[in-house]
Chain A
Amino acid sequence: DGGITQSPKYLFRKEGQNVTLSCEQNLNHDAMYWYRQDPGQGLRLIYYSQIVNDFQKGDIAEGYSVSREKKESFPLTVTSAQKNPTAFYLCASSVLQGVGENIQYFGAGTRLSVL
């Protein structure tokens, strides 16, 4: 089935540790996005990428890093510099066609907690 796969579903981070969240898509979409969700808030953009080997910071990029070595994959690393990493993380992808037409398709999310 075509779609977006995020793993793991749950992740625990120890103090000072970097952790990586996986996001893979087989939709052949050019654009991929990482969002963070906190209770009572809208999804906030961490990073996005529109082409392989290129990515842009979103509104809350500090303490996070990404790579886009393959079209299908857009892993997110939560570094030790992110002091409040506990949140639900969603990965999404979309085609790039005409401004406004880019419906985003989402994975099932990763819930990250700090030990």
Chain B
Amino acid sequence: ILNVEQSPQSLHVQEGDSTNFTCSFPSSNFYALHWYRWETAKSPEALFVMTLNGDEKKKGRISATLNTKEGYSYLYIKGSQPEDSATYLCASLRDSNYQLIWGAGTKLIIKP
């Protein structure tokens, strides 16, 4: 079983500040890396799917980068807002059978 690690486990950020956190995954037999946002009392929702080394994706104030050679991805949030408070999950596609291996998530709390 692949191990996907996320750090930090939780993060408190002042409103307006920018922040980032990390997802580490085994670099061998890489297929894809997914990022999801999970707000309290809601369902997880996909943010990005990245497949190529050097990929950078952006959605509004949130962006992500991918390094498949060293096995890590960063998620960046610029100018954090209260609505960014959520748990951010990353998952690595373990094989061509569409199964994802999930990290434990980074819980982000934005302080007003």
- Chain A interface residues toward B at CB < 8 A: 4, 31, 35, 40-45, 48, 50, 56, 58-59, 90, 94, 96, 99-109
**In the bound complex, CA of A17 to CA of B41 (Å):** 28
Q: How far is the CB of B57 from chain A (nearest CB, A)?
A: 13
Is the pair A100, B51 in contact by a Cβ cutoff of 8 Å? yes
Can you sample 9 A-B contacts with CB below 8 Å?
A35-B102, A43-B91, A43-B100, A56-B97, A99-B93, A99-B96, A100-B32, A104-B36, A106-B45
Contact between chains at A103 and B34 (CB < 8 Å): yes
Contact pick for B43, options A58, A102, A103, A109, CB 8 Å: A109
Q: How far is the CA of A6 from the CA of B111 in the complex (A)?
A: 32
Query: Interface extent on B, as a size class?
Result: 20 to 34
> Cβ of A44: which chain B residues have Cβ within 8 Å of it?
102
Query: What are the residues of chain A within 8 A of B108 when measuring CB–CB?
Result: none
B93 — nearest CB in chain A belongs to which residue? Answer: A100
Report yes or no: A90 in contact with B98, Cβ–Cβ below 8 A: no
- Bound CA–CA A109/B46 (angstroms): 16
Q: Are A103 and B49 in contact (CB under 8 A)?
A: yes
CA of A4 to CA of B27, assembled, Å: 32
Task: Please determine whether B99 and A106 come into contact, CB atoms closer than 8 angstroms.
Answer: no
A50 to B45, CA, bound (A): 21
Question: A103 contacts which chain B residues (CB < 8 A)?
Answer: 34, 46, 49
Write out the residue numbers on chain A whose beta carbons fall within 8 Å of the beta carbon of B100.
43, 45, 104
Q: Which of A31, A56, A58, A99 has the largest number of chain B CB atoms within 10 A?
A: A99
In the bound assembly, the distance between CA atoms of A26 and B85 in angstroms comes to: 29
Known A48-B99, A96-B98, A99-B93; judge A59-B49 contact (CB<8 A).
Answer: no
Max chain A Cβ within 10 angstroms of own Cβ: one of B93, B100, B105: B100
**B74 within 8 Å of A by Cβ?**
no
Q: Nearest 4 pairs between A and B by C-beta? A: A100-B32, A42-B102, A106-B43, A43-B102
